[in-house]
Structures are given as C-alpha cells and as structure tokens.
Structure 1
C-alpha cells in the first residue's frame, strides 16, 4: 500500500502533467477541500466534483498558467504538508502573481480525506484588481 506521502506526491506529479483524473485518483468521494478565506475559490468544497468545478475550473478560467511549484513535501505520517509557490497571470488584468503557499493534507485508508490551503491572499487579490 502506498504511503500518504506517496499519495500526495503522486497528486502533485499529476498536477504537473495537467492530469485531472490522476490528481483525483486517490481523493475520497467525501473529501473536504478548504481554500483559504480571501482566495478566489474560498470555502470548503465537498467531493471531487465540487473541487473540480469550484476550484480548478475557476482558476483555469480566471488565470493563465496557474501552477503550484512544490518546494518541499513534509512527511508527518497521515498528515502531509506541501510547501511552495503559486504562479499565474490574471486573464482580465494581465498582472502576474507569485504567492507562498502551504497545503495540509490528511490521508486515511489510502485516500485524501481533507485538504486545507494557506496562502497570502492579498498578493492574489492585487493581481486580480485593475
């Protein structure tokens, strides 16, 4: 059985390939996915369909080249922490953005059960404002 660390690493690898099916292969049907208050997709989204519609589709439509660059992955057993940077250009304003971010993953039974994002939402907001 793959470790939580490997499951999260595989998610990020799939993200780098733009492979949405691979990204959600190990995500629980009732995952609780929380984007930080002040972020464009703020809130807790339940289930992969909501996460795809309310997070990834929104980011893809509003931002060009939106990506997370992983700097390091911290193995805490069932809790895995991804640390890195977001990079993107806002489609409407043309402004670029780079913001530090931390993702906290909870994995149990081989599935991602919870995800929580922490980022500098002010930097994201500045890029989206004229």
Structure 2
C-alpha cells in the first residue's frame, strides 16, 4: 500500500465514523499537531493522545463535525489532504465551514507526523469567540 493509499484509508475511515480505522496508521511515536489558534491546538504523541485530545474532544463539542476532502496530493513520503471542516457547536448552536490542509509525513507506511493548517476564524466565531 502506498503512502497516499494509507492516508486515503484514514479519510475513508473518517467518512464511516470508524475511529479505530482513523488511528490505525499512527504509532506510539507519531506526532500529531493541531494548529495554534484552533480550539484543540497542541502536539499529541501516539494514537491514544490523539483519540482523547482531538477526536473525543471534537465529538464532545460539535454535532455533525466532518472533514470533507477535496484533493489528496501525493508527494511521496509526504501526503497533503486539502478540504474543509464543518460542524455545529453543541453549546452555541452556531455552524461553520473552514478551509484546511493536512500535511502527513510517513515512514514505512506509518504516520511519523501530521500537521494541521486551518483557517480557525470561522471555528472561533462558531464558538462565540473573537478570531
């Protein structure tokens, strides 16, 4: 399986709501970085930290939260996912759509690093916070 196929499988798992499938390409040393300014900003190491600090937090705070992939760029051991996030904040009731890029670096078919680059202004507006 090529590196782009590994990431395509991650996104397919996301579309199915399959958290185990989403976390499958991560190792205990995988570093996952959510962008500064994003509500879940930080770098998390390993699938358990990503599950708790990113995916469970998003599920707790947002309804109908999703990533919609518009393009998957194969750059060898680097794969870039371009798309948008959308969702409705459970407390404020406000919805958003925000453009995002995911930069994945893989080693031997497993995620070494993930970096999120996102327009967090619409997300913060949905939270009722200034951008």
Q: How does 1:39-118 map to 2 (within 5 A)?
A: 39-118=38-117
Q: TM-score, normalised by structure 2?
A: 0.96
Report the Cα distance in structure 1 between the residues aligned to 2:16 and 2:22, rounded to whole angstroms: 9
Match of 1:26 in 2: 25
Match of 1:127 in 2: 126
SS of equivalent to 1:45: strand
SS of equivalent to 1:15: helix
**4+ runs deviating over 4 angstroms:** none
Report the Cα distance in structure 1 between the residues aligned to 2:48 and 2:27, rounded to whole angstroms: 11
Q: How many residues align?
A: 129
Report the Cα distance in structure 1 between the residues aligned to 2:16 and 2:109, rounded to whole angstroms: 22
Q: TM-score, normalised by structure 1?
A: 0.97
Q: Unaligned stretches of 5+ in structure 1?
A: none
Of stretches 22-31 and 5-14 in structure 1, the one that deviates more from structure 2 is: 22-31
Report the Cα distance in structure 1 between the residues aligned to 2:124 and 2:58, rounded to whole angstroms: 13
SS of equivalent to 2:59: helix
Report the Cα distance in structure 2 between the residues aligned to 1:98 and 1:9, rounded to whole angstroms: 22
Report the Cα distance in structure 1 between the residues aligned to 2:109 and 2:27, rounded to whole angstroms: 9
Q: Unaligned stretches of 5+ in structure 2?
A: none
Q: CA deviation at 1:10?
A: 0.3
Q: CA deviation at 1:122?
A: 1.1
